[in-house]
Amino acid sequence: MLNIVDAKDPEVKESKPLIVAKNQVSSFRSVDLFVCNVFQPFVPGEVTDVSNGTGNNKPNTRKRAIFERLRNKPLVRIIHTLNNTTHGNIDLTYAAGIHTEQMLDVLKNGYEILNTKVEENTIDRSYLFQRNARRNGAVIPCNTFTPQMFIQDAEAKVIYAKLNSCCRDVTTPLYPSLAVHLHQDLEILKQAVAAIGNGTSRYAYVLNEHPGHHADARTFYGYCYLNYAAIAAQRLQAFPKYNLVGILDVDMHLSDGSHRIFEANPNVPVASIHINPEYDFPYSTRYNNFTGIGKATGTKFNYPLDPGTSWTGYKKHLEAAIQQLIVNQKVQVLVVSLGFDTLSGDPEAAPNSGLKLTPKDFHEMRQCLLNTDVPILFISEGGYNIQSVADAADEFFN
């Protein structure tokens, strides 16, 4: 039987035979899983599941695969939200403390405005829709060639200029239901932050649609639209007991967005364990020896790994990162950017790149994290071999 809690009604609707009481959460190491609309029918290949680029990015499939593995775990309590948001009541203001008004405007309104102009024949579709994205109706910026000289409609010209300034690549498109998905992800993030902040959850996992750790205050790219880890860290600081909030990023790729957002903030120490970006995305070694700016110098930590690193080598860096955040920086709560693309054979790894973790390694990773004995909020990041991702999530929350 499923242990499901309706987010609008705290009464447990169904319970598992081994359900634990809330005052037993810490000792039993249970986790609250916050998820939205995962019981709704899914159509393979819908726009949320295919974006421009390699074709490996399937965020909705990943989310559902993880959920299916966790839904019957004895110590996973599901807090499910049914959200029927339409564009008229989308609210992204929960992210406003991290992301600029212009960026949020593009993410909320960009697709609808541009697509309407296409339908009105005031913009030629070929200026906005490219390659894989075209068949799904997604809009991507032309960072190498801007067709604004051919766009006469004033409103479209403004929003497209904003899009070009906010998006840093051509693999993170605007698509019809993007704003709705972002709204829904922010809603469950808000619930999880409140649960950690109020002490009703010791460990919480937000099963968001898209990863977020590459997004910074002004720009989105790398499949990331909103930086949920950064938003959570800032929101947790509203609780008096959480002045120091740490971010630990265990995704395969550098946490460049989180670094840029908090590079001068000494109250949010950030540690990123990642493939050396000399070999893989985002192909910038600026942060290899980065420790922070100004008063935040000494609060940012980076552990670039050689291609082919296995759990034995990875664990040493994980323990070092935990030592820095928990012991040296004395953070009171931890936000973990939990990516599964560190798994061996991940299809998004560049040629001659990639790490060699196995699904079973994630069980030991979990033990390392829980030994910190601070509340932890887990945020979904990348992972592109869906079967391996599901296996690793199974081990991590087993």
Q: Is residue 257 part of a domain?
A: yes
29 and 48 belong to one structural domain:
yes
Residue with tokens 């609250």: 32
Q: How far is CA 367 from CA 248, 305, 373, 390, in A?
A: 15, 21, 11, 18
- Total domains present in the chain: 2
Q: Are residues 273 and 392 in the same domain?
A: yes
Q: Shortest CA distance to 172 belongs to which of 45, 87, 341, 53?
A: 53
Q: Is 114 part of any domain?
A: yes
Q: What 8-state DSSP symbol labels residue 264?
A: T
The verdict on residue 173 lying in a domain is no
- The contacts of residue 143 (CB under 8 Å, 6+ apart) are 164, 167, 168, 169, 170
Asked if 138 and 47 touch (Cβ cutoff 8 Å), the reply is yes
Is 113 a member of any domain? yes
Do 156 and 284 lie in one domain? The reply is no
Report the pLDDT value the prediction gives residue 282, as an integer from 0 to 100: 94
- Check: CB of residue 117 under 8 Å from CB of residue 157: no
In a domain, 342, yes or no: yes
369 and 302, same domain (yes or no): yes
Helix (H) or strand (E) holding 353: none
pLDDT, one tens digit for every residue, the chain (398 residues): 345 555 544 333 332 222 333 333 333 479 999 999 887 665 544 555 644 445 788 899 999 999 999 999 998 999 998 877 777 789 999 999 999 999 999 999 988 887 787 777 666 665 555 544 444 566 666 554 455 556 677 777 777 778 888 988 878 888 888 999 999 999 999 999 999 999 999 999 999 999 999 999 999 999 999 999 999 999 999 999 999 999 999 999 999 999 999 999 999 999 999 999 999 999 988 888 999 999 999 999 999 999 999 999 999 999 999 999 999 999 999 999 999 999 999 999 999 999 999 999 999 999 999 999 899 999 999 999 999 999 999 999 98
Tell me the two tokens of residue 278.
């000399």
Quote the pLDDT of residue 208.
96
The residue range of the domain holding 146 is: 91-166
| C-alpha–C-alpha distance, residues 255 and 304, integer Å | 11
Provide the β-strand partners of residue 9: 6
Does any domain span residue 228? yes
Yes or no: say if 31 and 77 are a contact pair by the CB < 8 Å rule: yes
* Neighbour-count burial of 14, counting CB atoms closer than 10 A to its CB (0-12 exposed, 13-18 middle, 19+ buried): exposed
Check which CATH number belongs to the domain holding 207 and give it. Answer: 3.40.800.20
Could you tell me which residues are beta bridge partners of residue 343? 357
Is residue 261 located within the same domain as residue 220? yes
Domain identity same for 107 and 256: no
Beta-strand relationship, 31-36 and 4-6: unpaired
What is the pLDDT at residue 132?
43
Task: Mark whether 214 is an active-site residue.
Answer: yes
Is 256 in the same domain as 198? yes
Give the separation between CA 189 and CA 271, rounded to whole angstroms: 21
Catalytic residue among 210, 213, 214, 259: 214
Which one-letter DSSP state was computed for residue 22? G
Quick one: tokens of 233?
A: 């860290």
Instruction: Label residue 280 exposed, middle or buried (CB < 10 Å: 0-12, 13-18, 19+).
Output: buried
* Residue 271 parent element (H or E): strand 270-275
Indicate whether 51 and 150 sit together in one domain: no
Burial 296-306 (b: 16+ CB within 10 A, else e): beebbbbbbbe
Residues 99 and 159 reside in one and the same domain: yes
CB count in 10 Å sphere of residue 380: 28
CA–CA separation, 50 and 70 (whole Å): 24
Instruction: Specify whether the CB–CB gap between 268 and 231 falls below 8 A.
Output: no
Cα 359 vs. chain centroid, distance in angstroms? 20
Distance of alpha carbon 393 from alpha carbon 63, whole angstroms: 11
